[in-house]
Amino acid sequence: MKTRLKELRARERLNQTELAKRAKVSRQTISLIEREEYVPSLLIAKRLSRIFEEPIEEIFIFEEEEL
């Protein structure tokens, strides 16, 4: 899974800590997701989708064979 989280965070001029607070998670979780080491739950994906006003599939991009 690829993610555009870092790019979107830069667009909104948010640091990891600020985004983490808004998404009600720890900064560590945001960092893990950005490094593509962790696939977040649907709940966190939805929160991030709301923050960036982007659909989930525009933030998290799956390869065809992953689906």
Partner 1 sequence: MKRILRILMYLVLGFFTGLVISMLASRNDEIDMAGIYQVTGVVLLLIAVILIFVSVYLHRQLNTVSKDYTKYMDMDSYDVYRYNKFNDIQVVDTLMMILALVSVGIFVILESHFLLTLIAVIAFLVTLWLTITHTGLVGRLYPDRKLPKPGDKKYAEKLLAASDEGERHIMLNGLYKTHGLIQVGLMIGIILMIFYSLLTGESQIFSIIVAGVLLILAQLKYSMEIREK
| Interaction site with partner 1 (CB under 8 A) | 15-18, 24-33, 38, 40-41, 44
Nearest-approach distance from CB 12 to partner 1, in angstroms: 15
26: Cβ–Cβ under 8 A, 6 or more apart, which residues? 20
Contact 32, 38 (CB under 8 A): yes
If DSSP codes are grouped into helix, strand and coil, which group holds residue 5?
helix
Nearest-approach distance from CB 43 to partner 1, in angstroms: 9
Instruction: Name the residue nearer to partner 1 (CB basis): 15 or 61.
Output: 15
Instruction: Name the residue nearer to partner 1 (CB basis): 4 or 27.
Output: 27
